[in-house]
Amino acid sequence: MKIKKILTSIRWFTLFLIVFISINSCQKESSDTLTGPAIEGSIVHLDKLEQGKVYKLNDYPLFVMSYRGDYGFSRFLKTGIREIVGEKINNPDWGCTCFTGMVNNKIFGRNFDYYHHIALALYTHPRNAFASLSIVDLYYLGFNESSSANQIENSNSVSNAPFWPMDGINEKGVAIGQMALPYADPPYDPSKRSLNCLEIIRLVLDYASNTDEAVSLIQQYNYNVNGGPPVHFMIADKSGKSAIIEFINKEMKVIYNNEPYHVSTNFIITGSLAPQTTDCWRYNKAYSDLKNAGGSIDETAAMNILQSVSQSITMWSAVYNLNTPSLNISTGKDYSKDYKLLFSNTLYSSIVETTWQVVSTFKPIYKVRVIKIF
């Protein structure tokens, strides 16, 4: 009889334990994705994010994820071969705005305007490149506004997210964004590998420590305009130097800032009358606000400018602080609350930059930047 009571007690305890675990498992996504040591209110500490875990920040939805380790980009640069995961970008009408304000605070502002409704802030920390934070339109990886954090986390396609950055900043304070154009006409050199617009952004985030290095890196590759929409790029660093890169008449044109601010939207600046005369109201508004401020803006002022040039299809407004480095982001034109994503206070001093000559299957030998980790 005593043994029977003991067995009954064990069964009830086991049942209670199973129910307790099941309840906590069901609640795991809502608790782990919204709070924890990595996320304090609207502050996200990127170095504290759990590797590979997807956290939901708001109901837009905006997610954040940490990807530590090799995602194969350095191998892709050597071989030109990678698995293509995601939907082909068929010349979308991206109506975007980028600008810089370079007095005191070094600020890079960026609106990404398109019709999708889901975004991922992706923190990457590979062993052979700089840590960076980029924003990914998850629609191209097969997700939509109904997708949950668990669905994204457990999907094979999210492992390809580092190849889909729309804009971003690296630990050296180099930021880059792209804006769609009516056309682009890049040069082609058969001795160089070809990169599409998103791969060029990844190249800069992984290997450029300033604007000049970013320009030099892009010059080492062909821009494959058939791999996505025709675009131009804006790049800036914490020294205050920025550049707009365009591809016109088989040439790569580089337009450096000659003022402590710089603006670019969706028209070709080379050969235009910008900034004196343009037909783009977003360009005119951003340029006027920056000129009136003398290029001296903080993160709040930058977000106000982005709000003033936002459109009905603005997916996110991103303010990159190049000094910190950090990101303030608002989604879906909800400027009542933004999130601040912070890099580690201790940057990666174990990284030492060097240059190797890499022999590829293409001739001649050309130089690429690589990173050594001790």
The answer to whether the peptide bond before residue 92 is cis (omega within 30 degrees of 0) is: no
Q: How far apart are CA 163 and CA 71, in angstroms?
A: 9
Q: How far apart are CA 322 and CA 239, in angstroms?
A: 9
Handedness of CA 29, 30, 36, 42 (dihedral sign): positive
The tokens of 264 are what?
């670019």
HSE-CB of 110 using CA atoms within 13 angstroms:
25
| Whole-number pLDDT of residue 37 | 80
Nearest 5°: CA angle at 46, between 242 and 30? Answer: 130
Q: Is residue 17 packed enough to be buried (19+ CB in 10 Å), middle (13-18) or exposed (0-12)? A: exposed
The answer to whether the peptide bond before residue 230 is cis (omega within 30 degrees of 0) is: no
Q: How far apart are CA 229 and CA 113, in angstroms?
A: 14
Q: What is the pLDDT along the chain (374 residues), one digit of tens a residue?
A: 555 555 455 555 554 444 444 434 444 443 344 556 899 889 999 999 999 999 999 999 999 999 999 999 999 999 998 876 655 555 556 679 999 999 999 999 999 999 999 999 999 999 989 999 999 999 999 999 999 999 999 999 999 999 999 999 999 999 999 999 999 999 999 999 999 999 999 999 999 999 999 999 999 999 999 978 899 999 999 999 999 999 999 999 999 999 999 999 999 999 999 999 999 999 999 999 999 999 999 999 999 999 999 999 999 999 999 999 999 999 999 999 999 999 986 444 334 333 323 223 233 323 333 333 22
| 268-276 own/partner pairs: CB under 8 Å, 24+ apart | 268/181, 268/182, 268/232, 269/232, 269/244, 270/246
Q: Pick from 217, 261, 218, 224: which is nearest to 240 by CA?
A: 261
Query: Would you identify the CATH topology of the domain 34-373?
Result: Penicillin V Acylase; Chain A (3.60.60)
Q: How far apart are CA 163 and CA 199, in angstroms?
A: 6
Is-contact 162 202, C-beta < 8 A?
A: yes
| Whole-number pLDDT of residue 29 | 43
At which residue do the structure tokens 């939805």 appear?
61
86, β-bridge pairs = none
